[in-house]
Structure 1
Amino acid sequence: MDGSALEELDGRIAGCRACPRLVAWREEVARTRRAAFADWTYWGRPVPGFGPPDAALLIVGLAPAAHGGNRTGRMFTGDRSGDVLYAALHEVGLASQPTSERLDDGLELYGVRITSPVHCAPPANKPTPRERDTCRPWLVRELALLRPTLRAVVVLGAFGWQAALPAFAEAGWTVPRPRPAFGHGARVRLDRAEGTVGASGTGDDGVLELFGCFHVSQRNTFTGRLTPEMLREVLRTAATAAGLPTTEPSP
């Protein structure tokens, strides 16, 4: 697809001020800063998605971290969750390096894009249902732009799963009823909705493979609920479903 449309969307997302509570919080965090980052100029705006416009695999999180993406301006960049996610992506062969520290660190993703259903850092990492729903049109538009190449999605955590399912439906995929429950390792096939145009020129039938994975939060990774091996397994399986090459697991 033409990357200019996705760049335009990213710019519009970064300028959004639709949710007063989130605007006030993200800007307050950017003003006061954390002592460890006192010399940083915080991004302090909504954080757009990150990755190539022809991604075959999409990773959907929850929302930017107050001192992570809200500081650096890039999804899962500059926080402990990102440390875990990008290390796994690198080991699987989907990222150029295992760390993600700042916008100009040279990181590239291979066939993968990362986004979230809420683009502003929320207080206590908990967006309200209204904030989630207000932000949904951005995800719907992103999915529509990625549609020609998108083959698989990994959703991190139950919140992202619940927020993303309506977006898939609005973007032209059929979500089973009753809605599939979230679970680590869950795999759900989403067919193209009737009357929806598929990916032109690829012969693709429009099917999207949806995978569930525990979120890479410190609560999950520190307690062992989500191990690096578990994360790599989901990413490798999803990448295979998306037709992306991966590195072989270590013996």
Structure 2
Amino acid sequence: MTPAENVISLQPSDAGGVGSISDNQQKWVELNASITACRLCPRLVAYREEIARVKKRAFRDWEYWGRPVPGFGDPHARLLVVGLAPGAHGSNRTGRMFTGDSSGDFLYAALHRVGMANQPTTVQRDDGLRLHDVFITAICRCVPPDNKPTPEEIRTCQPFLETEMGLLSGFRGIVALGSMAFQQVLAIYRSYGHPVGRLDFAHNAFYHLGDGLPWLLASYHPSRQNTQTGRLTTAMFDAIWQRAKILLDGQPDPGISKRG
């Protein structure tokens, strides 16, 4: 699958029919082609390609993606989900955000329970998964050693996330998975000159970022470290998506709102 095919196949019914590509969708194609071709961070390039070459024994028959991973989801989404980075043998193997590892299993099952995904499981790019009203991306597009991208690597990836945010012109809310994603979202809005104050990360913390800006909802990342230790339970994660849906529909916030 080529980078362009990967983009088009995200939500095929949104293309406007076979052979019809809107200007907006063409911008998605061009963006994702740029993402998958990026080699700006030598440390990440070397690591992602080494993982793809050596492979995990359980996936030795796979042809690993081994490239930066573009965002995935509904291009008309009102909800933007921002994670950290691809998993070594998840997205770095499959080429789709949160696909092929336990973090993705936990995330997509939760989205399915609230009607934002058409199926609860995900295995590979062409497994039929479709998202409704949600788009999933990350602050770093390459798998980083020890799951820790450097500040410079995150800044290098920032234009990709900013462009996605611009193309998702109708999004109203953001769910940040983990403190690093949370802080990077805030950094982007501050870089645009918005007076976003010092906000604390906590699971299910909700903030109004300002007039004309999306709201921000924080969640623990669905990493194995969090889900297997009980730090993030199924009930806790479900509460995030249930709250997000209520907020998107303009209903009263079931939690305590804070203003940044």
Task: Tell me if TM exceeds 0.5.
Answer: yes
The question of whether the paired residues in 1 share the 8 Å contact of 2:203 and 2:218 is answered with: yes
Q: Which runs of 5+ in 1 are unaligned?
A: 193-205, 246-251
CA change 1:244–1:48 in 2 (3 A) is farther
User: Aligned residue for 1:174?
Assistant: 194
C-alpha distance in 2, partners of 1:3/1:52? 11
Q: Tell me which amino acid in the other structure corresponds to 1:61.
A: G
The question of whether the paired residues in 2 share the 8 Å contact of 1:150 and 1:242 is answered with: no
Q: Tell me which amino acid in the other structure corresponds to 1:231.
A: F
C-alpha distance in 1, partners of 2:189/2:24? 21
- Alignment partner for residue 225 of structure 1, among 231, 241, 254? 231
CA change 1:33–1:175 in 2 (3 A) is farther
User: Aligned residue for 1:210?
Assistant: 216
User: Aligned residue for 1:158?
Assistant: 179
User: Aligned residue for 2:78?
Assistant: 56
User: Aligned residue for 1:107?
Assistant: 129
Q: Are 1:10 and 2:32 an aligned pair?
A: yes
- Alignment partner for residue 26 of structure 1, among 48, 54, 65? 48
User: Aligned residue for 2:106?
Assistant: 84
C-alpha distance in 2, partners of 1:241/1:11? 33
User: Aligned residue for 2:254?
Assistant: none
> How far has the Cα of 1:108 moved from its partner?
0.1
User: Aligned residue for 2:203?
Assistant: 184
Q: Tell me which amino acid in the other structure corresponds to 2:239.
A: E
> How far has the Cα of 1:145 moved from its partner?
1.3
Q: Which runs of 5+ in 2 are unaligned?
A: 1-22, 252-260
Q: Are 1:242 and 2:248 an aligned pair?
A: yes
The question of whether the paired residues in 2 share the 8 Å contact of 1:165 and 1:175 is answered with: no
What percentage of residue pairs aligned between the two structures are identical?
Answer: 50
Runs of 4 or more off by more than 3 Å in structure 1? none
Q: CA RMSD in A?
A: 1.7
Deviates more, 1:182-191 or 1:209-218: 182-191
1:23-79: CA deviations, max 9, x gaps? 000001101100000000000000000012111001111000010000000000000
> How far has the Cα of 1:7 moved from its partner?
2.4
The question of whether the paired residues in 2 share the 8 Å contact of 1:152 and 1:209 is answered with: yes
Deviates more, 1:5-14 or 1:223-232: 5-14
The question of whether the paired residues in 2 share the 8 Å contact of 1:59 and 1:113 is answered with: yes
The question of whether the paired residues in 1 share the 8 Å contact of 2:186 and 2:196 is answered with: no
Q: Secondary structure at the match of 1:174?
A: coil
C-alpha distance in 2, partners of 1:49/1:175? 27
CA change 1:236–1:103 in 2 (3 A) is same
> How far has the Cα of 1:242 moved from its partner?
2.2
Q: Which has the higher contact order (CA 8 A, sep 6+)?
A: 1
1:127-165: CA deviations, max 9, x gaps? 11111111111111111111x210011001111111221
CA change 1:51–1:173 in 2 (3 A) is farther
The question of whether the paired residues in 2 share the 8 Å contact of 1:111 and 1:244 is answered with: no
Q: Secondary structure at the match of 1:2?
A: helix
> How far has the Cα of 1:173 moved from its partner?
7.7
C-alpha distance in 2, partners of 1:74/1:39? 18
Q: Tell me which amino acid in the other structure corresponds to 1:29.
A: I
Q: Are 1:130 and 2:152 an aligned pair?
A: yes
> How far has the Cα of 1:175 moved from its partner?
4.8
C-alpha distance in 2, partners of 1:135/1:78? 22
Q: Tell me which amino acid in the other structure corresponds to 2:194.
A: T
